[in-house]
Amino acid sequence: MRFIAGALIASLLAGCGPVARAGIVVAPEPSVVDLSILEPWTPTGQAGRVHTGPGLSMLPYPNSASVQRRLLGRAFEVEEERVFAQPALQRLGAFGFALSDGAQAQLETIMPGPVMAAYRAALVGKVAPVEASDIAALIPPEFPLSESIAYDVSTSRYFSMSIADSTLITSQDAAEWHEVALAGGGRPMGLAIDASRRLLWVTMGRMGEEADAFVGLVAVDIDTLAEARRIPAAATSLNDVTVAADGSVFASDSLGGGIYRFATGAETVERLDEELTFRSPQGIALHPSGRYAYISDYSYGLALFALESRLAYRIDGPENLMLDGVDGLFLHEEHGLIAIQNGVSPHRIMAFTLSTDGTRITRATTLERAHGEWGEPTTGQLVNGALLYISNPQWDRFDENGLLQGDAPLQANIVRRLPL
């Protein structure tokens, strides 16, 4: 028998749908990676869509809060699968994932009172605000949907964008922002600086049904602010981006599910992963060896991607640690993987301590959580011993086509600096 509870299911799956839009004591040792100890990454179906049907309990992603929430949703749809609901709720409590009051009220209709009480007790100490950053810059509301921030140390210049207005912007005083004229169209989605080659790399993507949108990479000369190169990519929408030491550029396609590389000396952008490997890849951080990349899949967790074999492996962590919902992802020499988790509740920024070879997470440290001035922290850049990140892009004010909804004025977007 099927039981439908639409409001609960919608609440539980919030953040699980298609995404439109990124300590170890020392860095991992480049030469000691043993892939044989890792579990292969298990594809889950069509890119951009989560697995919501039968077999959820068999998905090999023990550190995914998204999977546990979908198990709760299935308990309202299929009576026979309610057996999985209680363990799922217990795991969410161990993760420190705070379900909404509405979702908890509906769960009370199928969960024993002691189970709900145990879940709430498990959250104690795991959801309280942790505030450690300060304001580094303000992006005025006339540049709406600024998703990422980049900073060039040599010129003290900030870069960001207005995704809604398809505009790249820059500032030298962290207050006054100006448009950077590009030679062609496209919506800037992600930013990464190649300081050695004096280039700002910009990913271009699309929103909604923009069939003619330019999707690819644009290189901007940091010193002249002139567009230096434009390379199309056969992707749905490029988003997060990072640059390797040799100048190769890596980008993720959160809508189409792909990982792309523009190698040094190449003329075209190539797709690295097999189709349907990832559901919604976001942040990319490179292993010090240059042979692997850490990939955050928004619904399922973290993967180690071997660039030579082009195979993906699952990064595991302690059983009480959720590894999904990661947007921005960075590798820090002392703190390990720095992860901006805006797909969990409450939002948080974590440092994931890595094993010596960088294949496992051994410990987690909360750097910030539920900051009182946050909207939705997204991504940014490691610079000068700190994480610069966007904290309030206000995605909830825009529809899938990038059009502002409602008459209320937008707020300034805050760029925050988190010392590491």
The whole-model pTM stands at: 0.93
Note the pLDDT of residue 19: 39
Note the pLDDT of residue 20: 36
Checking if the pLDDT of 161 tops 60, the result is: yes
pLDDT digits (tens, 9 = 90+) for 330-349: 999 899 999 999 999 999 99
Q: 155, 113 in Cβ contact below 8 A?
A: no
Q: 159, 200 in Cβ contact below 8 A?
A: yes
Enumerate residues 6+ apart whose C-beta is below 8 A from 32.
356, 357
Residue 186: burial class (beta carbons within 10 Å; 0-12, 13-18, 19+): buried
Note the pLDDT of residue 1: 36
CA 371, CA 387: separation in Å to the nearest integer? 15
Note the pLDDT of residue 7: 43
The answer to which of 145-154, 158-167, 196-205, 351-360 has the lowest mean pLDDT is: 351-360
Enumerate residues 6+ apart whose C-beta is below 8 A from 363.
318, 352, 353
pLDDT digits (tens, 9 = 90+) for 81-135: 899 999 999 999 999 999 999 999 999 999 999 999 999 999 999 999 999 999 9
CA 22, CA 281: separation in Å to the nearest integer? 9
Helix (H) or strand (E) holding 74: helix 65-77
Taking the CA of residue 343 as centre, how many other CA atoms within 13 Å lie in the half-sphere pointing to its CB? 33
The answer to which of 296-305, 324-333, 335-344, 401-410 has the lowest mean pLDDT is: 401-410
